[in-house]
Structure 1
């Protein structure tokens, strides 16, 4: 699914990275715990979160995540947006809650990302 389709499905606003809207993604992962995000296995994954601080962008950079979607209408500050621009990460904001955002994307064909169970505290 292309990011521009996701923007339309979620009635979302692109905060930065509009040039990446043709980027194709296959998986989504929703979490406010960046330590959980570090356990992702799949490439071509988007991150859905309510966490608007700089750590979300730093984590996305480490995991080669090209897009962060902020839920519940949240928006990061200018420092976070600037870092995302520098790291070539698209930032999007939707008014949907995390649960509904995941559901909308799932029903429209996006799969949930897999995690590396070896890195999780089970």
Structure 2
């Protein structure tokens, strides 16, 4: 799956393209707690969150993520988008709630990266 595929599946608005909308993604995580993302997330390519602040971009960068999806139609301000552009991270905004957005991506083949995902 690519970032473009995620945008299509989630009916998301592309706010920042990052390095490539055709970047391959294999796993995702959904969280509003960046401390949990830092502590428990390994090898995820996409972060789904409702938290709108610069820590989200910094966390995504530290975890080598290629895309951030803001759920519930949330939109980051220009300062956050500028930081994402500098870091090459795509930023999307979907009208779906977190549970629905994660479910749609899972139904379309994107996994969470857990060993129990089969």
Both structures adopt the same fold (TM-score exceeding 0.5) = yes
**Consecutive unaligned residues in structure 1, runs of 5 or more:** 116-122
Match in the other structure for 2:14 = 14
Match in the other structure for 2:42 = 41
Q: Verify: 1:29 aligned to 2:29, yes or no.
A: yes
Shift of 1:41: 1.5
| 1:26-45 deviation per Cα after TM superposition (whole angstroms, max 9, x unaligned) | 001000000111121225x2
Match in the other structure for 2:112 = 112
Match in the other structure for 2:93 = 93
Measure the CA separation in 1 of the matches of 2:62 and 2:30.
Answer: 17
**CA root-mean-square deviation:** 1.4
| 1:83-111 deviation per Cα after TM superposition (whole angstroms, max 9, x unaligned) | 00001110000000000000000001000
Q: 1:114/1:41 Cα in 2 relative to 1: closer, same or farther (>3 Å)?
A: farther
Match in the other structure for 2:66 = 66
Q: Is the 8 A contact 1:40 1:114 kept in 2?
A: no
State the number of aligned residues. Answer: 114
**Consecutive unaligned residues in structure 2, runs of 5 or more:** none
Aligned-partner SS, 1:20: coil
Shift of 1:19: 5.3
Q: Is the 8 A contact 2:18 2:88 kept in 1?
A: no
Shift of 1:113: 2.8
Shift of 1:64: 0.7
Measure the CA separation in 2 of the matches of 1:22 and 1:56.
Answer: 22
